[in-house]
Amino acid sequence: MEAAMASGTALVYDEEMTTHKLLWSDPVCDIEVPERLSSSYEQLKCYNLVERCVHVPAREGSEEEILLVHSSEHLEVAKSTQTMNEEELKRVSGNYDAFFFHPNTYHCARLAVGATLQLVDAVMTGKVCNGMALVRPPGHHSQKNAANGFCLFNNVAIAGEYAKRKYGLQRILIVDWDVHHGQGTQYIFEEDPSVLYFSWHRYEHQEFWPSLKESDYDAVGLGRGEGFNINLPWNKVGMGNSDYLAAFFHVLLPMAFEFDPELVLVSSGYDSGIGDPEGQMNATPEVFAHLTHFLMQLANGKLCVVLEGGYHLKSLSESVCMTVKTLLGDPVPQITGEMAPCLSAIESIQNVRAAHKPYWKWLAYEDTSVLQNLSTKSHPPKKANPNPFTDPESKITNNDESVKVERFLELHMKNILFPVPPIKTATTADSKGSAHLLPVPVHLVKEMDKTEIKALVSGFYADLVKEDKILHSLGNMLAVLDKILKKEVCNGIAESPRAAVSVAVALRHSVQFGFQRVLCIFVGDMQIIPNIEDGKILMIHICENEQSGKTSSKHCISLNWKEDAEGNDFFSALLGFILPVAYSYQPNLTVIAIGPNRSLGISGISLLFALLQGLAESRIFAVMEDTEMNLMRSVAKALVGASTPDFGVYVPPTQEKVTKIKILRDQFQQEWKMLQCSVKDGISRN
């Protein structure tokens, strides 16, 4: 038996951390308010998320813990502020770039450190699977010897160092999706190969704070840490959901899977979300659900999310809720917005890939080179702000914009949030009874009776209805599918003696039911090619050899792939091609079928199921012709989501496979724009 899997999501919060506040007037610092914490916590309560989490108490971080990354001088200065009067506090604060001290700041900053470490302990000891710490002051700008940018102690960096020492970890991934560069974290770990640090940040060719040369894409780490520092600079404002997803598909996720972390820490700033006066980006709260979902597939699900920035209270609190909802395992809302990264984002993605090519196996055969002439360089940022949401000229308009965003988000969240189906995963009690052997709670559905099926199928596949065995399996299959289509269950598994037949019927039935965009991924040999003429179905067929007479078209794509004998090399196909196509398509139902002669191993198939759950509100229907027990277990595990399935040993793609993906990418990137990750291929300047 495998060890019992940790379950549950921790929430660490202490109201005490709202007592750190600005005592004098300072237009730079006045956005870092206590309400950032209290309104986020209130919104979590509003969605009934607090009661679903495991409450983990905060504690003060010890001096010893703080000294893991900070100097004793820095600690002493911070300590000395507890008894200062306002004048003295103001004077000491003035020694730092964008920081303020309050008599309670030292206490709050120690609580922020301790809360973060409590979360790491809860996750590392298996008390919970993952969790979030709502803390302030934030941490990612603070350096060994200095407070900086609202940050006193570097909570996440201390957590990384602490986890390495206490749990003997050798690989930690830190993902910093705050809109500012976490230069503090970069400096602390830039020579350390055991910590992979990824940050995207508003940069505008060094115009935007902290305006450092070393925040650019070519700062890849130093000495032994070379290749383990990834900076993705955003050279214009207004980046949105598709830009963030493209960064994950084409940069972060392939690196993360190759790195294979034992723990993932997120410096979770939400100033990269819509309406933020600092970031001026356009990403909406649900994008954070998708990013969180992807990171949950790493490190066996060990994920600690720690609050950093975020200054539009509504945008911040909704984004916090989307993150926690996803950590709890709720289905992920459909992403909104046009799924096409902007030219400037593609340029940055290309440059960071080029800069890291020498260090990463997955990039070894990518023909990628640095772009010198960037589309944003020729016309420097005008003082007039291109972002529709903020106008720095006056606080008044700023306030108007802030209210506009608030109203927009009220409506937006109502539109994208949906009732979670009462049942996660369904299957039918078939003759083999294999459902009872599955390691996870799966709901059993009664099959449909024969007359019902005949009536359903006779319209389009009349000849199939003659065979009793097939009829029976269609009855099972349709019973589960109907529950998914009616949103009574989230996802389901059906066994079928002929997967291609079941899939053909399932696709037709779903379209007739009213689903307009169905994604079907078929692994193995497909004897019947379903009719996809009406553009309501996108078929991706993964098989070992080209099937004769089949040419790829926009809605029917063939991927010839034979999994490597050494381990799982399917990461590159999934992240570099399948996911970008699927996200470009935005299906409202996903059907994944495993037919005969599958060319993917169990780990590749598990990965497929795990990563595609971000689509179609997590509605996935699995049709299994191959019912090998370990495969069924892995698929059920991925669908129930109680734990991360095993993705096997990471194997980098061969040159031949990289070329294969590139050819497909070139062929389809005009249609499915999330495939775009470089500019030189004559991509339209969208």
Tokens representing residue 559 in the block: 């991927």
DSSP helix/strand/coil, 440: coil
Rounded CA-CA distance 411/167 in Å is 45
Cα–Cα distances (Å) from 89 to 19, 109, 142, 192, in that order, read: 15, 15, 18, 35
Query: Which 3 state secondary structure label does DSSP give 600?
Result: coil
> Which residues, including other chains, have CB under 8 Å from residue 249's CB and lie 6 or more apart?
575, 576, 579, 580, 583, 674, 677
Given the residues 141, 293, 356, 472, select the one marked as catalytic.
141
Pairing of strands 263-268, 303-307: parallel
Tokens encoding 267: 């410096």
Q: Which parts of 225-276 are beta strand (E)?
A: 229-234, 263-268
For residue 590, list its beta bridge partners.
Answer: 519, 620
Pick from 169, 72, 158, 178: nearest CA to 115 = 158
Residues 6+ apart with CB under 8 A from 169: 163, 194, 262, 263
Rounded Cα distance between 541 and 526, Å, is: 8
Known catalytic membership, residue 141 = yes
Element (H, E) at 211: none
CB 17 within 8 A of CB 31: no
- Return the bridge partners of 10, or none: 54, 131
d(CA 507, CA 450): 19
What gap in Å lies between CA 489 and CA 492, rounded to an integer? Answer: 8
Cα separation, 136 vs 18, whole angstroms: 7
Compute the chain's Rg from CA coordinates: 25
Amino acid at 579: L
CA dihedral 387, 36, 269, 31 (to 10 degrees): 50
Nearest CA to 351 out of 241, 243, 219, 253 is that of 219
54-55 and 9-13 strand pairing: parallel
Q: Which residue has the tokens 């993917």?
A: 600
Token output for 580: 């970008």
Q: Are strands 489-495 and 443-445 parallel, antiparallel or unpaired?
A: unpaired
Task: Give the total residue count for the chain.
Answer: 686
Kind plus residue range of the DSSP H or E element containing 541: strand 537-543
The Cα-based distances of 64 to 54, 67, 68, 135, 157 in angstroms read 27, 5, 7, 20, 14
The helix or strand, by DSSP H or E, that contains position 518, with its residue range, turns out to be strand 518-523
- Give the separation between CA 400 and CA 645, rounded to whole angstroms: 47
Q: Which stretches of 17-79 are assigned E, i.e. beta strand?
A: 54-55
Q: Strand ranges (DSSP E) for 83-211?
A: 130-134, 172-176, 195-202
Residue 288 · residue 178 · CB < 8 Å: no
Measure the CA–CA gap between 388 and 254, rounded to whole angstroms: 33
SS (H, E, C) 132-158: EEECCCCCCCCECCECECCECCCHHHH
Report CA dihedral (187, 191, 194, 198) to the nearest 10 degrees. 50
Q: Which residues are catalytic?
A: 141
